[in-house]
């Protein structure tokens, strides 16, 4: 759980890329992507988790960063990690974030707690198809950026 004045995000990885072109990151590699991405921000802390769903914890001071800003750092870090071949189609990174409003499943320190951000970091060739498959528009209709947000970044070969 985070301390007062600190915001906590837990990240999971949705890998929707062809495995014959892109290797799936190990848990350690996935965590290192974000640890590297926040290195220039010493006030942001990042560590790997040992949880079946959540892979990375990011802690940041609420007075200095918004969840959306940290989400942008995460999207950029993940997008820049891969170096696709020229004939590879454009790939997309989605950061889909939601503020947990319901009670936690348990009180484990590696479980998402009420008031914390759960973030799906998605790598896909088709953001529209992925978002449709999870009913993103319906699930987020009427919610504000204080409760949910989406970041999409694209890298062209």
**3-state SS string for 95-151:** EEEEECCCCCCCCCCCCCCCCCEEEEEEEECCHHHHHHHCCHHHHHCCCCCCCEEEE
Question: In which domain, by residue range, is 57 found?
Answer: 6-155
Q: What pLDDT band is residue 84 in, cutting at 50, 70 and 90?
A: low
Place of tokens 């006030």: 43
Domain count, the chain: 1
Q: In this structure, is residue 1 part of a structural domain?
A: no
pLDDT tens, 97-130?
999 999 998 888 899 999 999 999 999 999 999 9
pLDDT value for 1: 53
Mean pLDDT of 44-54: 94
Q: In this structure, is residue 124 part of a structural domain?
A: yes
User: Dihedral, CA atoms, 56, 25, 134, 126, nearest 10 degrees?
Assistant: 130
C-alpha span between 77 and 38 (Å, rounded): 8
Q: In this structure, is residue 99 part of a structural domain?
A: yes
Q: In this structure, is residue 64 part of a structural domain?
A: yes
**pLDDT beyond 90 at 31:** yes
């Amino acid at each position: 759980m985070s301390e007062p004045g600190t915001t906590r995000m837990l990240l999971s990885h949705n890998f929707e890329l062809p495995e014959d072109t892109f290797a799936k990151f190990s848990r350690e590699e996935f965590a290192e992507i974000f640890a590297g991405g926040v290195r220039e921000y010493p006030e942001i802390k990042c560590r790997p988790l040992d949880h079946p769903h959540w892979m990375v914890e990011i802690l940041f001071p609420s007075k200095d960063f918004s969840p959306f800003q940290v989400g942008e750092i995460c999207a950029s870090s993940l997008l820049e990690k891969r170096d696709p071949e020229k004939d590879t189609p454009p790939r997309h990174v989605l950061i889909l974030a939601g503020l947990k409003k319901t009670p936690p499943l348990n009180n484990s320190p590696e479980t998402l707690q009420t008031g914390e951000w759960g973030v799906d970091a998605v790598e896909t060739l088709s953001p529209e198809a992925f978002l449709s498959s999870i009913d993103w528009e319906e699930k987020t209709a009427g919610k504000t950026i204080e409760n949910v947000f989406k970041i999409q970044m694209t890298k062209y070969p």
